[in-house]
Structure 1
């Protein structure tokens, strides 16, 4: 009886997904530790301890984990939402950048409150998501190609506009820097996200704000849309088989465009949450922002489940905060490599899912043959 219950449990897709993610995380951590040993054997144990315990070391550090997890969660939702509808949104970084720009434009240039700025961030990301969707739906151009190009276009366009907008730059508000946007604390304190009810718990931590709460709400809303609505069913149907969906009377072209628009809006909100926190300024970049790309392993680790994205984003943020505490025993480049190994091996959840399913089916066949 117990064996049958165990076998049934392992055939549950949700259980298999969780086990696959946990197995992937363990493998990633083991390989990350081996890399630490290879690079600096004497400091490997202390380095691993710092990575695994720093996030809970103080309320300020835990606040930083939540702070970084919020935009990661939104980018993971963006990528995962597109995955669920059969699309690969590798353009989350460009959409994140445009969302950040729109949020800061409304905050600094137009002096709007934070909620209007966050709405503007969603619009900016959605605008940048519509182009890959249109090209995919109406010209059958692979969304990966279009999205990658728009990542670069978005970055350089934002740089160009900011470089020619003196009021947006820190130098326009009395600071010496002209390569970054103005600090919101000076330009428009009303655009900074409120600290919310968690402020008392985290004391004077500058990291904490309502961004993490907003991200969790969006994760739940996306789950409800995908699992409980006709619209979500249509989107997933298009992802499983575009031709079959069209045969069933579903407007596949419209749904492809809407999928990328929603995906872009989610990334855009992530950019808005990060820069409206008031702790950082957008720097005129020469490389594409990595947050959008980090959304890919977040989505993979969660098997594109919106609720799972909450936990995968928290894990990756936790590892990143812990990695920063490994200095000076390890250089920043070494830490980046170790974190990358852990994150991207942790994202092998889909592969591990297949391995577990194969092992369970093999055991079931052996059991049947024995009978």
Structure 2
């Protein structure tokens, strides 16, 4: 039997992701047609082009750098979701762990004058503590990690606002400018910024996030520890029977997942690209967009790198929609539609597998019928006429 290329998991993930992206763009285009059909084509094109809307190469490079600056933390949040999901856990608390990373890294940098490395480690520690709380509740109290994660998201958000109010500007709700207050806390550029028209925000975070994706793949796929984690996720009772510490593995998974999300926050705010607004009343979307990036990438760390860039690309591209023809929120709506449909990747893969299985069953049944049917000349009795 010929090998069906569509049964390959990588091919399925790629096709499912492309289908979701095209569906999202199509629905976004239809929405634009209903609002103002005359500018729908230009608007959806502007979203797709993003930094390519500029004509000069130097300007394109600069704004590509801006997209990459926010791709790094999104990738870390996606890896946080992915790592937990591979172990059978849904870490929706990544948004709160991200907030903890923001709070501790910025406070240490602005209030205590710490350098970038201890600030990053402290951000990871904050995410780890929150992950450990969800893990302990899951292991010993049977509290679903989704429930505890959602509750912690809001608790940590308001604790972050309270803490960073001590290091905010007097006349605005934003924290102090990091480059002015403590330049030693800015992540090193490593000369990468020169590739993006001396965009000083692009630096260590970008290669570090890619290395983190490689490390997650190695841990999950090439180590005994990763095998135990995945075995626990598949069936914790069977893992316990085999001598694996299922409770320890659940806690460790959420601790590592929290560390990744907390590190992602430090990768953004220690670049000086953004300041935290101490009046923030909603959980940062970065943690939730990480869910879409993880699934759009087929739950593969390498696919998640490309998916994170794409989601950040279309999110930033929404800013180029003509605001004289459409309201300000239309760019967020288009981005949200595409991100929402990214969550259907696994469903599309399931539908593809069902279709392939049905076709194979029909082909097998047909071959069986043909083999059981006697040849047309079996009863002709050629020898009896002689």
Judge conservation of contact 1:21–1:347 (CA < 8 Å) in 2. no
Residue of structure 1 in register with 2:11 after alignment = 15
Residue of structure 2 in register with 1:34 after alignment = 30
Q: Give, in angstroms, the shift of residue 160 of structure 1.
A: 1.9
Residue of structure 1 in register with 2:350 after alignment = 354
CA RMSD of aligned residues (A): 1.4
Tell me how far apart the structure 2 counterparts of residues 162 and 184 of structure 1 sit (CA, whole Å).
13
Q: Give, in angstroms, the shift of residue 161 of structure 1.
A: 2.2
Judge conservation of contact 2:103–2:163 (CA < 8 Å) in 1. no
1:241 aligns with 2:235: yes
| Correspondent of 1:131 among 120, 130, 133 | 133
Judge conservation of contact 1:60–1:207 (CA < 8 Å) in 2. no
Judge conservation of contact 1:297–1:344 (CA < 8 Å) in 2. yes
Ranges in structure 2 where 5+ consecutive residues have no aligned partner: 54-59, 368-386
Q: With a CA cutoff of 8 Å and minimum separation of 6, indicate the structure with the bigger relative contact order.
A: 1
Residue of structure 1 in register with 2:373 after alignment = none
Q: Give, in angstroms, the shift of residue 362 of structure 1.
A: 2.1
Judge conservation of contact 1:27–1:346 (CA < 8 Å) in 2. no
The runs of 4+ residues in structure 1 deviating greater than 6 Å are none
Residue of structure 2 in register with 1:315 after alignment = 310
Larger mean CA deviation between 192-201 and 337-346 belongs to 192-201
SS of the residue 2:313 aligns to:
helix
Tell me how far apart the structure 2 counterparts of residues 157 and 200 of structure 1 sit (CA, whole Å).
38
> Mapping of 1:201-350 within 5 angstroms?
201-284=195-278, 285-328=280-323, 329-350=325-346
Residue of structure 1 in register with 2:175 after alignment = 181
Tell me how far apart the structure 2 counterparts of residues 108 and 180 of structure 1 sit (CA, whole Å).
12
Q: Give, in angstroms, the shift of residue 322 of structure 1.
A: 0.9
Tell me how far apart the structure 1 counterparts of residues 342 and 164 of structure 2 sit (CA, whole Å).
37
SS of the residue 1:155 aligns to:
helix
Q: Give, in angstroms, the shift of residue 238 of structure 1.
A: 0.9
Ranges in structure 1 where 5+ consecutive residues have no aligned partner: none
Judge conservation of contact 2:193–2:200 (CA < 8 Å) in 1. no
Q: What's the TM-score, normalizing by structure 2?
A: 0.90
Residue of structure 2 in register with 1:114 after alignment = 116
Q: Give, in angstroms, the shift of residue 272 of structure 1.
A: 0.6
Q: Give, in angstroms, the shift of residue 327 of structure 1.
A: 3.4
Tell me how far apart the structure 2 counterparts of residues 80 and 275 of structure 1 sit (CA, whole Å).
23
Total equivalences in the alignment: 359
SS of the residue 1:196 aligns to:
coil
Tell me how far apart the structure 2 counterparts of residues 206 and 56 of structure 1 sit (CA, whole Å).
20
Q: Give, in angstroms, the shift of residue 137 of structure 1.
A: 0.5
Q: What's the TM-score, normalizing by structure 1?
A: 0.93
